[in-house]
Every structure is written in C-alpha cells, then in structure tokens.
Amino acid sequence: MKRRHGIPLLFLALLSIVLSTTTNSQTKPSATRSPKKLTSVAAKAIPTIKCIDLESMVACKSFKQLVDARDKGLLDSLTGGKDSRKRHFAYVCLRPKDDAFKIVEFDAPLPEEYRSYSPQDAARSFTVLLQENEAFPYKEGMPVMQHLDAQKKWYEDHDDIFQYGFGNIYMESWEQGILANYVSDSGKWRRPLSQGSKYSDEDVYFESAHQWLAKFNEANANQLSAVDEREYPRITVGDTSIYLRYSFKNKNNDYTDYTLNIQRSTGRFTESFVVPGLQPFDDSGTCMSFRY
C-alpha cells in the first residue's frame, strides 16, 4: 500500500547544486529507511488469543480468527521479522461493539544502535539523507527548494545531550476481518547520552517526521507548509503513551481528522473522529499488547 513518488529532472538538477555547495553541517549516523517487509514468523511464538470482554467481543473474534488462520500479514505485524534483532512492539486496539480494530506496531532500536551527531562531509550527509532517511516524499507540484529545505532542517535538527536512531511506525485499520487502510511515517528515536552503564526505556522517545514538521510550521509562520501532507500521520511514542493523528478523505470528499491515544501500561485507548459540520465522534476501549 505504500505510494511511490517520482523525482522530476528539475529536482535532480537542483539537488546536484545543493550537494556541491552545502558545507559545515553535522549529520546523524546512516540508518536505512527500508520498507516494511513481510517475513516468515515461523521462528516466533504465535500468541493464543482469548476473547472475554463483552464490549469488544465482535472485534476480538475477527482478530482471533486471523491469528488462528495464521494470516501472514497480520502475524508479521504482531511479531516482526523472524531474523530481526530489534525489539518489536504491537498494540491491537479493539473497537467496542464494532467489527473493527487498529494495530500500531514498530521496532525499537537496541541501545547499541543509537549514535551521537558528528561532523562529516556535508555532501555525503545530504546524499545519505535522500537515499536512506528521506522524511518527506516528494509530490509533483511541491516547491522543490522548500522540499530540500525541509529535508535538511529535519535531518540536522538535534540536541547534543541526546543520541539518535531512525525508525518507522505503522498503523493498520482492519474492518470485518479485512485490512482496510494503512498509514506510516518515518522519524527519529532519541535517548539521553548514557552515563556509565545506566540505561532505561523510560528515557526513549520517538517523533515522526511529519510531527516535527507540524511543530516547525507552527513556530515559524508555516514556512514549510507546502511540504506538509495531512494524510501522513503525526506520531509520538514515549515510555507511557502513544499518540497518532492523521486525516483521510471521507465519502463526502472532505477530510476526517482521526486521533488515537494509547496508554502503554494498561492498553487503554481513546480515539476520535472529527468531520466538518458534524458532531465529533469519540470512542474508547482496550488494546492487547505484544512484545517480541
């Protein structure tokens, strides 16, 4: 379901100019922003699902049916790649009294994968950015220089007290046992510089690229608003909660604003739908959590 974005000749020509003139920047360690892979889960334990909550019984039965059928796509979302060394997290949020659920899933970097910023060759840093850590896919008609400026500002934004890693967060929407929608965004994980051997997951924080862009535009008079795409999710992940917000086209050819909040310790979640001209719709329930 991922969209591919072509890069016009003008973009490539301007890029060559930027690469030849950019100097004295700092860069993150390279980290490949690879697409989500569907890999075998044979080596990982498949969870046993028990549906006991009456409120979410319909959604739970659909989820259980997919797990019991060993649906490959769903199991990959729950368990991650069988050969991955990363820690995989998945939250299955069952909507009450409806045959629908969401899956929020991601790999968290291992402690040794975090890196500090270090001065490197500027041209190489920008090449690594575009080839391996592109944050804002180019869309035809987007101002080329604004696109380049957004990429560079996001890539180089950092604080010297933190170490960083790259990653992706995914959210799937399942309705009546069918995958109905899929959104994702790349971003940065960060943690404070380690002091001795002390390290805790409580110090780790993720911010998606489009969440960073929304904050940047709010603080800078929408300087890079032409690069923003409201259909890309704004996501944060902390030790206590997960926040996700994005917009999608509805049947009236307008946009619905969707927000999901998950409390990681209990699995409790709230979600809201805001449609122009209508009363907001809110719901709440509980997510099943999985860690591999």
What are the residue ranges spanned by the domains of the chain?
9-291
Full pLDDT tens readout for the chain, 292 residues: 444 344 343 333 333 433 333 333 333 333 333 445 444 444 578 999 999 999 999 999 999 999 999 999 999 999 997 666 779 999 999 999 999 999 999 999 998 889 887 655 444 555 555 556 678 988 899 999 999 899 889 988 999 999 999 899 999 999 999 999 999 999 999 999 876 555 566 689 999 999 999 999 999 999 999 999 999 999 999 999 999 999 999 988 999 999 999 999 999 999 999 999 999 999 999 999 999 9
What interhelical angle do 144-156 and 9-21 show, nearest 10? 50
pLDDT, tens digit (0-9, with 9 covering 90-100), for 61-86: 999 999 999 999 999 999 997 666 77
Closest by CA to 58, choosing from 181, 174, 183, is 174
Q: What is the pLDDT of residue 133?
A: 63
Predicted TM-score (pTM) of this structure: 0.81
Q: What is the pLDDT of residue 219?
A: 97
Q: What is the pLDDT of residue 55?
A: 96
